[in-house]
Amino acid sequence: MVGRQSARPAASEAIQTGMREEQHQFLRLLNQLPARLKAEQATWVLNCQPHDVPILVAARLLKPLGNPQPHSVKYFAASEQLEQVNDRTWLAKVTNALNQHWRKRNAAKKSHSQNGHVTASGGGRNDRDNLSIANR
């Protein structure tokens, strides 16, 4: 077997996707995705990050299946995802929603750091200074 690559995917790949090898083989035979995608799998289809899913759900651009509780695992229809990624208008809405979210969040972080709070560079007041100010 030296010099030959195995046709089986690495064990770590199967663990990362949460699917067993038998499931991978079966889906390859069908030549399709699972009917339901977890949030992380949906991000692979969309080429975005897992932390983007709640943003897209809040913007009503991604619709979870059923009525999941706020902190439960959410599933998305693979067929719907594949249809949406072919829609240029929908992709533009996704891109704009993500850009707008991060623009607002970064602006809030910037204004927060300009108001005398600790910044990433270490500027601003430290906890000891805040305690002494509070005790005055």
pTM attached to this predicted model: 0.63
Domains, the chain: 34-112 (1.10.1660)
Q: Which helix (H) or strand (E) holds 76?
A: strand 75-77
107 pLDDT more than 80: yes
pLDDT of residue 19: 65
pLDDT of residue 17: 53
CA–CA gap between residue 60 and residue 55 (Å, rounded): 9
Task: Convert the pLDDT of each residue in 45-61 to its tens digit.
Answer: 898 999 999 999 999 99
